[in-house]
Amino acid sequence: MNVLLTSVGRRSYLVEYFKKAVGEDGNVVVTNSAVSQAWAAADKAFVSPVIYEEGYIPFLLDLCRKEEIGVLVSLFDIDLPVLAAHRKEFEEIGTVVVVSDPEVIEICNDKWKTYEFLLKNGFSAPRTYLGLDEAKQGILSGEISWPVMVKPRWGMGSLALYRADNLKELEVFYEKTRKNIGETYLRYEAVQAPKACVLIQECLMGQEYGMDVINDLSGSYQNSVQKRKDAMRSGETDSAETVEIPALRAIGEMISGLLKHRGNLDMDLFEKDGEFYVLELNARFGGGYPFSHMAGVNLPQAIVNWSRGLTSDRSLLEAKTGIKGYKDIRMVCLNRAEQE
């Protein structure tokens, strides 16, 4: 079986995980710009059109036919709604796209809809405002206090994320976030609501956790792998340790049942005064997945097995607790010919 990873970026570790999963008889193909770190790790690599260009989906469909792709996995939020809308076209040519339904992707990508979803279903979440005036009123009325976080409504990592400690900073960072959105790829989704594309959110002080909520390809719950985050870098987990907390596991299973997502759901949570607050949902492999993998989870192998119509051993999705990991920095040669 051959696997295609789209928008692969610098997640070369996922390329390696999938290469082991498909074995010697399969290839891992990637698409991205030629300057991505994971480009060099793949068996084959192709430069794709920009996600929102008209030729993007036809390019991927043609690539899947030519390379006999059995499974397609995207690693980028902006890619997900486009692939979700065209999933059936890929299924018709024999390619399984590991992407959730469009409405699930919308709940996860749109952080305001994430907030509404969480409140509607009884989960705790940091108080969030859609608009500067509403946030100012919330601060004046004592609903929230300084500091607050200013962030894109459709965002990822730490891009255009700012902490405001007073009213002047709030006003400056609100405009700066709007400007950042217009200057980056965040503008593609923000075009849905250009006048309501910035959120102001309560800043929670407490222990941060990450969780991989794993469903099979039909959306049935499999497991919740929990990690205590010890360090962050550029909005991504840099150091973490696997843990087992029943309250977190219960949250993961409940959200799995509500969303019925496919594959991995990357969750960010905070613990404050013994209560767990859900911060974000990402319907894809997140930056915290390698810590689950290090602890014994092998979701890439499970995905390959499921796509082949096989039952996946439960042990592939179970993690040992107390496994602590750190991310490393290494050099990658992008000249594929020189590597070969």
d(CA 135, CA 157): 22
What confidence tier does 235 reach under pLDDT thresholds 50, 70, 90?
low
Question: Of 60-64, 85-89, 192-196, where does mean pLDDT reach its minimum?
Answer: 192-196
- Residue type (1 letter), 337: A
CATH 3.40.50.20 in the chain is located at 2-99
CB 30 within 8 A of CB 39: yes
pLDDT tens figures, 244-259: 999 999 999 999 999 9
Query: Which overall architecture, per CATH, does domain 207-326 show?
Result: 2-Layer Sandwich (3.30)
- pLDDT (mean) for 261-287: 97
Q: By C-alpha distance, which of 54, 100, 53, 38 is closest to 266?
A: 100
pTM check: above 0.85: yes
Is the pLDDT at 12 greater than 50, yes or no? yes
Residue 234: per-residue pLDDT: 64
What confidence tier does 10 reach under pLDDT thresholds 50, 70, 90?
confident
pLDDT tens figures, 88-109: 999 999 999 999 999 999 999 9
What is the CATH superfamily name and number for domain 127-202? ATP-grasp fold, A domain (3.30.1490.20)
Residue 127: per-residue pLDDT: 98
CATH 3.30.470.20 in the chain is located at 207-326
What confidence tier does 337 reach under pLDDT thresholds 50, 70, 90?
very low
Is the pLDDT at 339 greater than 50, yes or no? no
Give me the phi and psi of 256, to 5 degrees please: -60, -45
Domain 2-99: assigned CATH number: 3.40.50.20
Q: How many helices (H) and strands (E) does the chain have?
A: 13, 15
Helix 132-140, helix 167-183: angle, nearest 10: 160
Residue 279: per-residue pLDDT: 97
CATH 3.30.1490.20 in the chain is located at 127-202
- For residue 330, give every residue at least 6 positions away whose Cβ sits within 8 Å of its Cβ, in sequence order, or none: none
Residue 56: per-residue pLDDT: 97
Over the Cα atoms of the chain, what is R_g? 20
Question: Of 105-114, 130-139, 224-233, where does mean pLDDT reach its minimum?
Answer: 224-233
- pLDDT (mean) for 26-45: 87
Residue 336: per-residue pLDDT: 54
Q: Residue 329, Cβ neighbours under 10 Å: how many?
A: 5
CA 26 vs CA 37, 44, 69, 185: distances in Å: 21, 11, 9, 33
- Which tokens sit at 280? 């974000």
d(CA 61, CA 274): 48
Is the pLDDT at 215 greater than 90, yes or no? yes
